[in-house]
Structure 1
């Protein structure tokens, strides 16, 4: 219970500080905070294997990925599906990323764009490669569950 409260507090503090704190590399709090009004979701709801991939283990490796396809996510309203392919020289696999449209509202994402992925303690941070500005956080499922709203009886 205490571990859960501390974890929730750390993620909420990082996300909540976004308004006041700019992003700094290698800092979990500032990287999460820089996503600011971006968006977040669980890894299991956001990341999938590419239709061209024989391995659907949802593993993502930090690095740069090229957007090779953009489409409406099937059966998910107001959600865009990006198909990402690792930039040459990496051992990573293609994968899909389902992102709420609101996360991409500030800047359009076109085919050929480069997305930078950082692996974080709480999951993955997806950013525009040229500015390193995060636009989406895919949180480990247990971290994401801790952020859910709950009724509190007083």
Structure 2
């Protein structure tokens, strides 16, 4: 078999496989991926706030370990948990609103240590003991770019 006939056979096989897929498969897969991403990420402006004992509304968070000092339902946000985190050295506290689905695999407990890593895209929040991340707070521009958009084919 020549390379051109092999190439033609592969193209025909791919075309046949593509035609056999249901038309909605792509959109449902995209929807599932979007939902999964939304469960574990949010924008910095919607997720990070100043705690009641902090001055100002600074969204800047320093990398390091933070202790969970309070856990509550986020006011005005369905299916969202508000964590109040204080720096391990006690210097700074802030609130973090996390979708409940992001905590489904492992709940966060009061007094637990959370590790915050600063990334190019924002902040990664992880359980300090396992370093397993559970939430990403994305810079607003990054978060907007990740939104799903309907595409016509």
TM range (shorter): 0.7 to 0.9
1:152: which partner in 2?
151
RMSD: 1.9
Structure 2-normalised TM-score? 0.73
Name the one with the larger helix percent.
Answer: 2
Q: Distance in 2 between matches of 1:120 and 1:132?
A: 15
1:93: which partner in 2?
92
Instruction: Provide runs of 4+ in structure 1 moved above 2 Å.
Output: none
| Greater Cα radius of gyration, structure 1 or 2 | 2
3-state DSSP of counterpart to 2:101: helix
3-state DSSP of counterpart to 1:131: coil
Gaps (5+ residues) in structure 1?
1-35
1:61: which partner in 2?
62
Structure 1-normalised TM-score? 0.72
How far the C-alpha of 1:55 sits from its partner, in A, is 2.3
Cα pair 1:38 1:134 within 8 Å, conserved: no
Gaps (5+ residues) in structure 2?
1-36
Q: Distance in 1 between matches of 2:143 and 2:69?
A: 28
2:120: which partner in 1?
121
Higher mean alpha-carbon deviation, 49-58 vs 113-122, is at 49-58
1:73: which partner in 2?
74
Describe how 1:1-150 pairs up with structure 2 within 5 A: 39-88=40-89, 93-150=92-149
How far the C-alpha of 1:45 sits from its partner, in A, is 0.6
